[in-house]
Amino acid sequence: MTDVDTGSGDRLALAALTQYRMATTEQMHRVITPEVRREQTRRRLAKLRDEGLIDRITLPRAGRLRAWFPTSYGVQIASEWPEFRGRRPPKTVSDPTAVRLRVGHTLTVTETALVFLEDARRRGELCRPLDWIPEVHHPLGGGEAVIPDALMYYRQGREGGDGPMLRAFVEVDRATMGPERLAAKLTAYARLHGYVPTTPGQRRPAFGQEPAQEAWRRRYPLFPRLLFVLDGTGPAGITTRIHALHVAAMDPALALFVRTVPVLSAALADLRAHGPSRPVWHPVQEPDHTVAWSWSPHG
């Protein structure tokens, strides 16, 4: 049996790495123990690696930066914990080749998680490391699905209070696809918003019966807000992508969705510089304005 210290940082380190898929040494330090010296985090990661729970790849073009990921054994151990019940990560999360091919995007998603996590810590609000859940599968029927880069849970107000719970689907774009393909994701989320599952031969509700509900209502009391985090391009490229989202949102077929669900976009650089709670987000309806991410189209 491995010597995983469930009472301190070992368990959190393995859980966070299993959930986030991948992180650098610095990112892991910021997630699990930012209050201690970084050398302690390095020793913890080396210990978990010696136990066969995690491994690493070295990125030759990034100053020999190390990216850590869970091994198949580490995923097996973590998946047995209550916090992972029903959420086993994909098999490729522990495959070194798959890790290498996805490293840029995955590390950017991890960095996006950290800007929210660290902002919550500064503000005394509640967003813990495992409140960021990558790649939650939302079926649309016919084998199709919406799989956001992450689903985030964030409780506003002082920790221990009864502030509102905000949920968000987060899409991280590194400018690897054209603005139109990015904007097309709005249509997929609008479909999810209206998707009512059916079964073959199912009859329409009889008079007086409750109509079938949208699938998302089984998971969420409100449809999560949709946040686009933009990176990998300069200010002009960011502006182009923000306006492409705005143009897509003008489609009459998306009117109900964008009127009901907050859809916002922001540059990752602005989130790092100012914090995601600041008014750095552009509403899809008004791309030249900025608001806080807790903004609602209903005021």
The predicted structure's pLDDT at residue 278: 95
Q: What is the DSSP string of the chain?
A: -----TTSHHHHHHHHHHHHS-EEHHHHHHHH-TTS-HHHHHHHHHHHHHTTSEEEEEETTTTSEEEEEE-HHHHHHHHTSGGGTT-PPPGGGG-HHHHHHHHHHHHHHHHHHHHHHHHHHHHT-B--GGGEEE---EEEETTEEE--SEEEEEE-SSTTS-PPEEEEEEEEE-S-S-HHHHHHHHHHHHHHHH-----TTPPPPPTTSPPPPPGGGGT-SSPPEEEEEE-SS-HHHHHHHHHHHHHHHTSGGGHHHHHHS-EEEEEHHHHHHH-TTSS-BEETT-TT--B-TT--TT-
Q: What is the pTM of this model?
A: 0.90
The predicted structure's pLDDT at residue 203: 59
Q: Match 């790649």 to its residue by tokens.
A: 135
Q: Give the model's confidence band at 208: pLDDT under 50 very low, under 70 low, under 90 confident, else very high.
A: low
Q: Higher pLDDT residue, 199 or 194?
A: 194
For 98-122, what is each residue's pLDDT tens digit?
A: 888 888 899 999 999 999 999 999 9
For 12-67, what is each residue's pLDDT tens digit?
A: 999 999 999 999 999 999 998 888 888 999 999 999 999 999 999 888 766 678 89
The predicted structure's pLDDT at residue 1: 32
Please determine, for residue 298, whether its predicted confidence score (pLDDT) is greater than 70: no
Mean pLDDT, the chain, integer: 88
**Distance, CA of 39 to CA of 292 (rounded, Å):** 36
Average of per-residue pLDDT across 69-97: 83
**Distance, CA of 264 to CA of 258 (rounded, Å):** 10
**Distance, CA of 296 to CA of 224 (rounded, Å):** 11
The predicted structure's pLDDT at residue 159: 61
The predicted structure's pLDDT at residue 296: 81
The predicted structure's pLDDT at residue 4: 46
For 136-171, what is each residue's pLDDT tens digit?
A: 999 998 889 999 999 999 998 776 667 889 999 999
Please determine, for residue 201, whether its predicted confidence score (pLDDT) is greater than 70: no
Q: Give the model's confidence band at 3: pLDDT under 50 very low, under 70 low, under 90 confident, else very high.
A: very low
Please determine, for residue 196, whether its predicted confidence score (pLDDT) is greater than 90: yes
Average of per-residue pLDDT across 129-133: 93
Query: Which structure tokens are listed for 82?
Result: 């209550």
Q: Give the model's confidence band at 7: pLDDT under 50 very low, under 70 low, under 90 confident, else very high.
A: very low
For 223-269, what is each residue's pLDDT tens digit?
A: 999 999 999 999 999 999 999 999 999 999 999 999 999 999 999 99
